Amino acid sequence: MHDEWPDDALYWGLVKRDPLALEALMRRYSREMSYFVRVVLDGVGTSQDAEECASDLFIVVWQEIGSFDPARGSLRTWLTMRAKYIALDRRRQVQRRQAAVTSLDSVSIGNGTTREHRSFEFPLAQLTENSMEGLLEQRERREELAHALDALPALDRYLVYMRYLCLATTDEISGKTGLSRHAIDTRLWRARKALRVILEERTHERVRARQEG
């Protein structure tokens, strides 16, 4: 039984790219790591944020198992540290997002715009300051995000739309697409990574253009 594998056997199974080793690892540690992630998040974000952190952890493990050195510590310790970094990064992202929504509310309150409309219109907004300049920058960011989404494969673009704009669960997306939860989580992780790279490149280009101008 793969569930009876010791950690060193799981490690070598992952090194050999054995998907059964990954499944056994997830069965053994998913509950423990999910609990640890929620502790690190400390009430920040939603249950979906915690789920995505746990999913991201095992994707990272599958892709970066070569960075684990058994001579320097146990597999559980390595997993815990990876989970900590992922959860802390997500916590910072959620806090920035919450701060941005608060700033947006204070800026837009005089326009008579409803909170529900603002939440839908700016799901990924990150205001840099409480000013018109900040609002104009967010318009640029929304345009950049639209272009970045267009650069994704059609299926990935659909998954991002369903998961982050329609707030569909992974199970609901699976029912609509026929993809497994693992496949959906993997494609969403890659899509987030691709979007981050594209947006960072556009940010650098915008900064250079302003400096040159």
CATH of the domain at 174: 1.10.10.10
Instruction: Clarify whether residues 140 and 204 are in a common domain.
Output: yes
Instruction: Clarify whether residues 63 and 144 are in a common domain.
Output: no
Q: Is the pLDDT of residue 123 over 60?
A: no
Would you state the pLDDT for residue 211? 75
Give Dmax (Cα) for the chain.
65
The model's confidence at residue 205, banded by pLDDT at 50, 70 and 90, is: confident
Structural domain contains residue 118: no
Instruction: Clarify whether residues 70 and 22 are in a common domain.
Output: yes
The model's confidence at residue 195, banded by pLDDT at 50, 70 and 90, is: confident
Domain housing 9:
1-102
- CATH number, domain with residue 89: 1.10.1740.10
What are the two backbone dihedrals, phi and then psi, of residue 209, each rounded to the nearest 5 degrees? -65, -40
The total number of structural domains in the chain stands at 2
pTM of the predicted structure, to 2 decimals? 0.51
Structural domain contains residue 38: yes
Instruction: Clarify whether residues 55 and 139 are in a common domain.
Output: no
Instruction: Clarify whether residues 37 and 133 are in a common domain.
Output: no
